[in-house]
Structure 1
Amino acid sequence: MTDGCLFCDIAAGTIPSRPVATTETTYAFMDIHPASDGHLLVVPRRHSTDLRDIEPQDLTDVTLEAQRIARAMFDAWDVDGVNLLNCCGEDAWQSVFHFHLHVIPRYRDKGKDRLVLPFEPNVPGDPDVMNDLSRSLSDALKSA
């Protein structure tokens, strides 16, 4: 736990939340600014700032718990889909700097679902840019 971390305090029970599921290593609770009805967060109990520094086992535990919860959403709420979202860094919309996965149920009924797609998924990328990025990241991974 890190002093002054909102999600550490929520997982510790010192700040009220609406818990959904708890395990030894994870804590899932309702998001107070939901993008859709039932939007929740899964966090590791052990503090990590973001995707770059979370311990591999904590990442595994959070991801598997998010999967378990997403499966239950289909049965409990008759959702039409689910998004998992992680925001890593302020420019990627991270606002609380404790790793977390958003589990966002999706509904055809837009009265329950306020989330809109932030990009155009059917617009092709520039092949030269994709080739350059593919090579540079592949090279970086070989030396990592």
Structure 2
Amino acid sequence: MTECTFCELIKRKANVLFENEKISLMLSPEPATPGHLIILPKKHATILEQVPDYTVKEMFIHANKASTALFETLGAQGTNILIQNGEPSGQRHNHVMLHIIPRFENDKLNLGWQPKKISEDEMSTVELKIKQETGAVGSFEKEKEKPIEITKPKEITKEDYRVKHLKRIP
């Protein structure tokens, strides 16, 4: 199996601006605009559905903070936060990533689309199909809890003046 390009970038810490145990935030090696950032899960996943909920949560929390940083440091006038999930959506790499793209007036980047006309019947049919599969949307995959370490209280070997003060007779 060939190594994932983005797993390699994470290992080399290439252009990494922030990382923790779950994610890496880095400058995009293929930027749409100056300051284009990407957030990747450190554990390899090809599409978003393979990423644990708690990691997705972490990705979006940091996307919000990174977006704020782009406004404050580069003077961005807006941001697009998006995921290309699967080849038909434009995903070109086999590692899921969250893009934070700073936007500027007249940057000539077009991420818009023409809305399609859909009949009420077709909209209802689609709604019913999707509703059947989204019953568990409210559930959340929690991170496995780490065992609590219990340490022995430190024994005081000599008399502490603070304790002696409390036992003082007036």
* TM-score bracket relative to the smaller structure: 0.7 to 0.9
Contact 1:36 1:114 in 2 (8 A): no
CA distance, structure 1, for counterparts of residue 46 and residue 113 of structure 2: 26
Structure 2 unmatched runs, 5+: 138-170
Does the C-alpha gap of structure 1 residues 133 and 101 become closer, same or farther in structure 2, counting only changes over 3 Å? same
> How does the TM-score come out when normalised to structure 1?
0.84
Q: Where does 1:96-107 land on structure 2 (aligned, <5 Å)?
A: 96-107=93-104
Q: 1:44 corresponds to which letter in structure 2?
A: P
> How does the TM-score come out when normalised to structure 2?
0.72
- Ranges of 4+ aligned residues in structure 1 off by more than 6 Å: none
Q: Where does 1:55-66 land on structure 2 (aligned, <5 Å)?
A: 55-66=52-63
Identity of aligned residues (%): 25
1:116 to 110, 120, 130: 110
Q: Where does 1:60-139 land on structure 2 (aligned, <5 Å)?
A: 60-108=57-105, 110=106, 113-121=107-115, 124-139=117-132
CA distance, structure 2, for counterparts of residue 119 and residue 36 of structure 1: 19
Size of the aligned set, in residue pairs, is: 137
Structure with higher RCO (Cα < 8 A, 6+ apart): 1
1:12 aligned onto 2:11: yes
Provide the aligned C-alpha RMSD in A.
Answer: 2.1
Q: Which structure has the greater CA radius of gyration?
A: 2
Structure 1 unmatched runs, 5+: none
Contact 1:35 1:114 in 2 (8 A): no
